[in-house]
């Protein structure tokens, strides 16, 4: 048996193994980088949607136009605006608003004005968000406001003690699977109440759109 030949063969196999490991490592790093970049793009896109507080019938002020509508399609989007500024333990009063020639609730949704409930007709995953904007009208005490959309999303706002009109805002979101259930938005306030706090109607509401 040629010992020298065996040693050379072993070195060649070791060299091939080293090359394979290096190539595999580079491929893995490239794949991880690609996934990370894709994740960042998705988060940025969802954050952009979250920054859209409401639909507007004014084309000059609407932030849900152009590319956004072409991607998500209006029938798969719904937005409901708060219609009462009162903060109390009750079902949050919501209403669809005018958008162009139609309304802010797409055909994929069913909204009941009487119960303020919203149902997605198509089973799937939805991006759901709640915008809450509040203003102190005069000498407001500290307290907690909680807005819960069924078992899908809860948005809480810690309100400080204020003596001026400094606004307080809170935005909450989630991605959740909906399978045809009616969703009610329940408002809960601190036991002591939230005297002199007011919910700003034009910038407070609930929205959702189909993701998958």
**Phi, psi of 36, rounded to the nearest 5 degrees:** -65, -40
Note the pLDDT of residue 3. Answer: 46
Would you say residue 189 has pLDDT above 70? yes
Domain 67-210 matching CATH 2.60.120.10: the answer reads no
Note the pLDDT of residue 143. Answer: 93
Among the residue ranges 34-43, 108-117, 155-164, the one predicted with the least confidence is 34-43
Domains of the chain by residue range? 67-210
Name which residue leads in pLDDT, 2 or 184.
184
Would you say residue 108 has pLDDT above 80? yes
The token pair at 112 is 């009941």
Task: For 48-106, write each residue's pLDDT tens digit.
Answer: 544 444 444 444 334 444 545 544 468 899 999 999 999 999 999 999 988 777 889 99
Secondary structure class of 23 (helix, strand, coil): helix
CB 187 within 8 A of CB 88: yes
Could you tell me the pTM of the whole model?
0.67
The DSSP code for 139 is: S
Distance CA 10, CA 141 (A): 79
């Amino acid at each position: 048996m040629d010992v020298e030949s065996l040693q050379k063969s072993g070195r060649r196999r070791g060299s091939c193994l080293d090359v394979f490991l290096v190539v595999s490592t580079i491929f893995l790093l490239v794949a991880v980088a690609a996934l990370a970049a894709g994740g960042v793009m998705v988060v940025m896109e969802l954050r952009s949607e979250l920054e859209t507080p409401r639909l507007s019938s004014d084309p000059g002020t609407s932030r849900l136009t152009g590319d956004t509508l072409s991607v998500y399609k209006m029938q798969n989007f719904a937005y409901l605006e708060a219609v009462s500024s009162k903060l109390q333990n009750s079902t949050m009063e919501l209403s669809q608003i005018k958008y162009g020639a139609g309304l802010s609730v797409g055909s994929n949704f069913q909204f009941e004005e009487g119960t303020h409930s919203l149902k997605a007709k198509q089973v799937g995953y939805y991006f759901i968000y709640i915008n809450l904007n509040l203003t102190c009208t005069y000498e407001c005490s500290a307290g907690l406001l909680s807005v819960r959309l069924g078992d899908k999303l809860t948005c809480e706002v810690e309100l400080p003690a204020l003596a001026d009109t400094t606004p307080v805002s809170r935005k909450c979101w989630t991605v959740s699977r909906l399978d045809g259930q009616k969703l009610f938005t329940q408002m809960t306030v601190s036991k002591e109440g939230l005297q002199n706090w007011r919910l700003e109607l034009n910038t407070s509401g609930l929205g959702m759109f189909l993701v998958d």
